[in-house]
Amino acid sequence: MEWVEATAWEEGEVIGDYLFLRESRLYFLFLFSLVKSMKYSKLAVKILEYEEREIHYDPVYHGRTLKVVGIDDDPTRVIDYIGDQFLEKEYGLIFFDTRGKYPKEKFDTIIEIEDDKPTGLDPIKMVKKGLLKDFYTAATIIQTIYGLDRSLTDKLYADILRGKVNSVADAAKSKEQYGEVIREVYTALDETFFEGEVPKLGKSILVDFGKTYSISIVGMAFLILAAAIRDRRNTLIGIDDAAVLFYTTPGSAAIPLLTQPMRGRVTLLGSRYAVENILNVPGPTLVLYNDPDIQSMIYEANGVPQGDMRKHVLKGEGAFIWRTTQTLEVEFGKLPFEG
């Protein structure tokens, strides 16, 4: 560690592991612990262990969207583990679960999505209940689901404002041209999906898709709920399996809603599929055990050069890939839980 010579120091201030000394307008920083063992903010959580050192994921320093790619239940176990750490920080948890694998006791709201079962997730009705921001958001959601063009969306929006359309069912029955377009793909499953009472959304929400087989229903529910919780702060969002939820057009539209960087929000994208629309999302990546060619593909997508930086990740291990504005880092270690 190098010390910088200076004179006429003003008061010093200790913040975490740093000592800041001020001289006029200049600020000097001395490090009193190894950089690799630092926690950079109160949001930092341990994700790997290497010998006597802990490796942390810090959303503030590394990026607010973490991609977790592995096989079997490994991504689920990592997301559940990180979720428990954020519960201790008094964060709310909002998990989208395509496989029905997450324990329900830590959530105060459980939304079970099933084929041919009412959900109450009608975006027009949700605006009236204060769960969506405005009627234009509702019209845009309907546009995305049913492929309306801009002029038809504006007409639908106008009819919603005038009270001519009070639900998605009203829009589908309308004699206007947007009604014709909606009816081309509107099914009995859609009709049932939008029926029912609008659900209440608590601080911690589990959306369980484990009994859903229609990918269209999955995509609609995911987009609508993503729009409803997009502005929440002090929240950890877990999306598992992200590749499945992002597969449809409505699901893809939800990506920027939940991965756009926001203070007080962290998003975890868990997947068993190393697909481009996941790997291309900005943010660090945690590589878990997988086939060698899949690991190679993930390293390649993250720009990791061939050589020592590409270690083969074994069962129970992980490789944490993250960037600064000037460097690319890869840290290896064991997962901090058994099994």
Could you give the C-alpha distances from 297 to 116, 241, 250, 267, in angstroms and in order?
Answer: 39, 19, 27, 22
Amino acid at 169: A
Pairing, β 328-334 against β 317-323: antiparallel
In this structure, which topology does domain 45-117+201-334 adopt according to CATH? Rossmann fold (3.40.50)
Q: What is the pLDDT of residues 11-36, one digit of tens each?
A: 333 344 333 333 333 333 333 344 44
To the nearest whole percent, how much of the chain has pLDDT over 90?
Answer: 87
> How far is Cα 281 from Cα 111, in angstroms, rounded to an integer?
27
Based on the number of CB atoms within 10 Å of its own CB, is 171 exposed (0-12), middle (13-18) or buried (19 or more)? buried
Nearest one of 227, 242, 244 to 145, comparing CA atoms: 227
pTM above 0.85, yes or no: yes
- Spatial strand order in the sheet of 45-50: 53-57, 45-50, 328-334, 317-323, 285-288, 65-69, 265-271, 235-240, 92-97, 205-211, 109-114
Domain regions of the chain by residue span: 1-32, 45-117+201-334, 123-194
DSSP secondary structure code for residue 23 in this structure: E
Q: What is the pLDDT of residues 272-296, one digit of tens each?
A: 999 999 999 999 999 999 999 999 9
